[in-house]
Structure 1
Amino acid sequence: LSAALPPGDDGSSLAGAVRRSLAPPVQVDGVGLRVGASVGVALEGRDGHDLVELMRVADRAMYADKARPGAPAREEAAADPTLGPDLRAALERRDGSEALGLHHQPQVGWDGTVSGYEALLRWSHPRRGLLLPRDVLPVARAEGALTALTLHAVARALTDHAVLAAAARPADPLTDLATDAPTVSVNVAARDLLVDGFVDDVASLLAASPAPPGCLLLEIAEPAPHPRPAVQALFAALDALGVGVSIHEFGAGAASLAPLAGYAGVRELKLDPALTRAVATDPAAARLVAATVGAAHALDLAVVAEGVEDPGVVPRLRDLGCDRLQGFLVAAPLPPDGVAAWLERWRAGGGAQALLGA
């Protein structure tokens, strides 16, 4: 929306008019729904002189407005005018790979084996210290750099995989059984998957890396309930590269396993942490998990209980058939050079059997 404003008006009146126009309830099937709006305003001359500059400032302001009700950290990140240029500089310069790194949270099976890691972005900012994804992602969105950041994370994950795989190898090959190389999963927004050339970029990163393609998972939210041919083709292209797909936060909304049968390459479901926390005390949650596990196994999908923090849920998750555990009860996200030491402590402490109290 573009508009001419009266002299001295900073755009507040226009933003207010937009909000007021959306204030009346909207009737949908006889139910009154209220719709809110997050508004960002940029003024020509003050905030920029061309459409690209103005859109960038307005987008940043909109995300700051969106974050204001319940996420002050995001607001602070979006409001800092130096973070956007700093992020672009970190992505473009060669030494930015050290500042923009990953921590990895282990995923373990009931025999104690580490089957994979979820890669989580960490930005060591020279002024702000260690920034988490909730601080970085709004900045990347506002700067139009989300896809570049995602590809950077994929590249780092493939680089880190050598360290993760080395740590997973048995200390004594004469007494310990060898294990498969762990997977590493990178969170990807659906909009990134649909960007032209994204799959080709992932293919190039795989070709330049010694890591096997099968080690990489792209972790996404539940796909659309009615698979579109273009999206199915995209999943098929990833599958042809050997790249798997993990569906996270399953069970957070109106979850359905039926659409997943139409997508190639989906390997695992990750239960929403709220569902994981509820299985020991809420019979309805336990029934939902049991049904999810049964249907997922019928589709040859592994089920990961994410957000495991309470020892009391562990036996219930095992009884319900969940295949793997992930959460702070197992380990916090670890820098690559901390994985080997954690894994040694994990094995020495009895691994998953210790969590079960066996």
Structure 2
Amino acid sequence: MNGAEALARFAGHDGKAISPARFIPVAKSAGLIGELGEWVAEQACRQHAAWLAEGLQVAIATYVSPLQFRQRDFAHRLGTIVSENGVDPYGIQVEVTESAIMENVDQAIEILNQLKSFGVKVALDDFGTGYSSLSSRSSLPLDKLKVDQSFVSRVEGEPASRAITRAMIALGHALNLEIVGEGIESEDTLGYLRSEGCDQAQGFWVSHPLPPSEFAQWYRTHQVGG
């Protein structure tokens, strides 16, 4: 077990969960996506600190939307959140998409370098769905590549998806990056990715989303180190 990903969930007036597919577009249109992203980052840092106090060495990843990533002083504000909550920055990971980075590569590299100077790890999310060139990827200060679930979910039945996934894993390793397979929902898929050298797994086969207390219990039960 390497860590967890922070997910935002909201309950409606009737107590039923509201899908992120509904509230994220609303936050974007209302100009609140930056505030929402910072709130999630702060909650992730607080949870990370709480788990550390309980003896759980659990890193937490937070997704950063393209709009938030391009906001002025984004990196500085995130660094402040990490510092004010007194957590080890190496236990915090930021996930950004190819599309967010490729809109302005030079600016993105500057932001990513700032994040890494704080000690925060950076992962490229949805790898394989964007349009960045190999030369651009090699210059990005990253720690991980996340192979998109649109490829991972089809490796069992589509030779082309298996070949693409294999190539992306090889490329990531050639760049000295850790590789995470997203959207794993079966043992066969997990077995294939493991056989190709994928470093980490994420998906319902590992665990469905859990509230913090239930996750801590699950973690203690499944912890195998590393």
Q: With the length of structure 1 as denominator, give the TM-score of the two structures.
A: 0.58
Pick the aligned partner of 1:263 from 140, 143, 160.
Answer: 140
Q: Which AA in structure 2 matches 1:215?
A: G
Q: Which runs of 5+ in 1 are unaligned?
A: 1-113, 170-180, 352-358
Aligned to 1:230: 107
Unaligned runs of 5+ in 2: none
Q: How far is the alpha carbon of 1:308 from its aligned partner?
A: 0.7
Q: Are the equivalent residues in 2 in contact too, given 1:164–1:339 (CA < 8 A)? A: no
**271-280 or 125-134: bigger deviation:** 125-134
Q: 1:254 to 1:207 in 2, by over 3 A?
A: closer
**Residue correspondence of structure 1 range 86-101 to structure 2 within 5 A:** none
Q: Note the alpha carbon deviations across 1:43-99, whole angstroms, 9 max, x for none.
A: xxxxxxxxxxxxxxxxxxxxxxxxxxxxxxxxxxxxxxxxxxxxxxxxxxxxxxxxx
TM-score normalised to the size of structure 2? 0.89
Among candidates 173, 190, 194, match of residue 66 of structure 2: 190
Aligned: 1:140 with 2:27:
yes
Which residue pairs with 1:6 in the alignment?
none
SS at match of 2:145: strand
Q: CA deviation at 1:192?
A: 1.0
Q: 1:326 aligns with which of 202, 205, 210?
A: 202
User: What does residue 47 of structure 1 align with?
Assistant: none
1:160-219: per-residue Cα shift (whole Å, max 9, x none)?
1134446674xxxxxxxxxxx332111111221111122221121112112111111111
Q: Distance in 1 between matches of 2:61 and 2:191?
A: 26
- Assess if the C-alpha contact under 8 Å between 2:49 and 2:85 holds in 1: no
Q: 1:156 to 1:256 in 2, by over 3 A?
A: same
2:148 corresponding residue in structure 1:
272
Structure 2 Cα separation of the partners of residues 227 and 195 of structure 1: 13
- Partner AA of 2:60 in structure 1: V
**Pick aligned residue for 1:129 from 7, 11, 16:** 16
- 1:225 touches 1:256 (CA, 8 Å); kept in 2? no
Bigger radius of gyration among the two: 1
Which of 147, 156, 168 is the equivalent residue of 2:43? 156
The Cα offsets for residues 10-40 of structure 1, whole Å up to 9 and x where unpaired, read as: xxxxxxxxxxxxxxxxxxxxxxxxxxxxxxx
Instruction: Decide whether the 8 Å contact of 1:257 with 1:296 is kept in 2.
Output: no
Give percent identity, aligned residues only.
Answer: 26
Corresponding position of 2:125: 248
Q: RMSD between aligned alpha carbons?
A: 2.3
